[in-house]
Chain A
Amino acid sequence: MQLDNLYQEVILDHYKNPQHKRLSPTYDAQVHHINPSCGDEITLNVTLDGQLITDISWDGVGCSISQASVSILSDLLIGKSLSEAQVISDSFMHLMQSKGTEKGDENLLEDAVALAGVSQYPARIKCALLGWMAFKDASLQALSGQVSN
């Protein structure tokens, strides 16, 4: 059934065993984002070493899509440079807006391609993007912290 496109095993696995779901005691930036239409919330910490993302950690409540998405994001972006993260984020945004016409670049997005099915459910796209928006916000704040220091 069509629902299986949305709830792929990878997503349910990440939902049941979320990665990096523990807020680090230290961080360069911490953000709190809310999805006002459903009440999902996420707190996300980012630590940078220059342009390198050395840590992402988070905590939150939300549906399997939002929780799996941020778990996948953390796995994917830790150890990447900010410019690599930008390319990956852009590619993910594009996939989310594809209305089911694209499968996503597995070499670039890895587990995040499992979220391709979300693009067929307009109401769920914001669930998948919650963590990505939080990361974008946090990384910008972390960067501006470097400048001001």
Chain B
Amino acid sequence: MKLNAYEIAKDFPILSRTIRDGKRLVYLDSGATSQKPNLVIDAETNFYRTSNAAVHRGAHQLAEEATDAYEGARGIVARFIGAESEEVVFTKSATESLNLVAYAIGNAKSGNRFHLQAGDSIVVSEMEHHANLIPWQQLAERTGATLKWFSVTPEGRLDLSQLNSIIDATAKVVAITHQSNVLGTINPLAEITRRAHEVGAVVVLDACQSVPHMKVDVKALDIDFLAFSGHKAVGPTGVGVFWGRSELLAELPPFLTGGSMIENVTMQTATWAPAPRKFEAGVPNMAQAVGLGAALTYLNSIGIEEIHRHELTLTEQLLAGLSEIDSVKIIGPRTLESRGGTVSFTAGEIHPHDLGQFLDSQGIAVRTGHHCAWPLTRALGVPSTTRASIYLYNTSEEIDALISGVRDAQKYFSR
């Protein structure tokens, strides 16, 4: 059934507020963070109201209920991405998830399959968010491994023409984004994973911009590790997900150490609990994990494929509307082929920050700047862009509001 964005928007209390001089809020910044439906807000607060206790500890009923709620959320996440529960690790953010895997690989000693040293290489791309670039830069610096990357074509696609020489026999890790947070480009993973596995490298997928918006099945994608954040998937802030294949998580050393991640401890040594506990030191972000479970259940109730179709319909409308405006240039794919609902553009002489400010005066929230992907905007020769990112609660009317907002901004700044 086709989703009704007007009905969906009613589930999100913030979307009924007004902005500036009483303008209705048009929220087109879900790529930065999504808004939250009542049932997510309720799930998080109800956890505190009714079930709050430290999970996996304590002999009391509250601890049991809290553990059930937390582990229940893990099961929901696992089913959402086609994984097993014990492969799903809760973190505080996708950034932490990516740092977890980078630091854990850095902790691998000689003899461990993840051990990195000079002569090895780590492969990323020019379109990575800083969160999937800097942890790898730093890992390369710590281990002496070489950082290599795929460049981006002027159309905003990965240049895979040198696939076999960029991912060569020295490659140990290939860390790539599923969907660019700037361009909306969805990357062709099959070729990359095939080549990575051919040379024995693991594939780490930054799925922040894909998991909330389209069907992502970790097994079908044939990847090894994946990261996404809860807050971009109508879930709470403060919770991220790290997924890894069971056999890899078993061999991957821990990142953060401390309580609950152990099997046995003496004054001088410790051994680790099996995954996912090995990677969840300390009392976890239980309420946020429970909120994320509610969020993914909500997305399931609407249908992730339905959501993706809705976003593409609006993206088509936006691309068509923007391309009719003189001096507007789309930065990224101009067709719907292998792209999602994130649209970056420039508007001639109007700097994105000024355009964003004008749109804000109309109640329209967009993102401006380099979007934490500075090497990408530099490579494309644009210091910054204006970005509209679409989600399930956006309507065709809101896309029209953005398009006329851009036209009005042109009039305003040419006075």
- A residues lining the B interface (CB < 8 Å): 1-3, 6-7, 9, 12, 37-41, 61-65, 67, 121, 124, 127
Contacts and interface: CB of A to CB of B under 8 A. Distances in A.
Contact of B353 (A1, A12, A41, A127): A127
B20 A12 contact: no
Nearest to B377: A39
Contacts of A6: 357
B357 A121 contact: yes
Interface of B: 20-21, 351-354, 357-358, 361, 368-370, 374, 377, 383-384, 412-413, 415
Given A39-B377, A39-B384, A63-B351, A3 B368 contact: no
Most chain B Cβ neighbours within 10 Å, of A7, A39, A121: A39
A39 B383 contact: yes
Contacts of B20: 2
Contacts of B377: 39
A38 B370 contact: yes
Most chain A Cβ neighbours within 10 Å, of B20, B353, B412, B415: B353
A64 B368 CA distance: 14
A36 B370 CA distance: 9
A38 B384 contact: yes
B374 A39 contact: yes
A61 B382 CA distance: 10
A61 B369 CA distance: 12
A64 B351 CA distance: 7
A124 B361 contact: no
Given A2-B361, A40-B353, 7 more contacts: A3-B361, A38-B368, A38-B370, A39-B370, A65-B353, A124-B353, A127-B353
A136 B168 CA distance: 49
A124 B383 CA distance: 17
Contacts, number: 50
A7 to B, nearest CB: 7
B237 to A, nearest CB: 19
B353 A63 contact: yes
A12 B357 contact: no
Give the 9 A-B residue pairs with the shortest CB-CB distance, closest first. Answer: A63-B353, A63-B351, A39-B370, A3-B361, A38-B369, A39-B384, A61-B383, A39-B383, A64-B354
A65 B369 CA distance: 14
A2 B383 CA distance: 28
Nearest to A11: B354
Contact of B413 (A12, A39, A121): A12
15 contacts: A1-B21, A1-B361, A3-B357, A7-B412, A12-B415, A38-B353, A38-B370, A39-B374, A39-B377, A39-B384, A41-B383, A63-B351, A65-B353, A65-B354, A121-B357
Nearest to B350: A64
Given A2-B20, A39-B383, A62 B357 contact: no
Nearest to A1: B361
Contacts of B361: 1-3
B411 to A, nearest CB: 13
A54 B413 CA distance: 33
Contacts of B413: 7, 12, 64
Contacts of A63: 351-354
B130 to A, nearest CB: 10
A40 B374 CA distance: 11
A62 B351 CA distance: 7
A25 to B, nearest CB: 25
Nearest to B384: A39
Contacts of A37: 369
Contacts of A3: 357-358, 361, 412
Contacts of A127: 353
A84 B73 CA distance: 63
Nearest to B369: A38
B374 A124 contact: no
Contacts of A38: 353, 368-370, 384
A62 B384 CA distance: 9
Contacts of A40: 353, 383-384
Contacts of A7: 354, 412-413
Contacts of B357: 3, 6, 121, 124
Most chain A Cβ neighbours within 10 Å, of B21, B361, B374, B415: B361
Nearest to A61: B383
A127 B356 CA distance: 14
A67 B369 CA distance: 16
Contacts of B383: 39-41, 61-62
A34 to B, nearest CB: 10
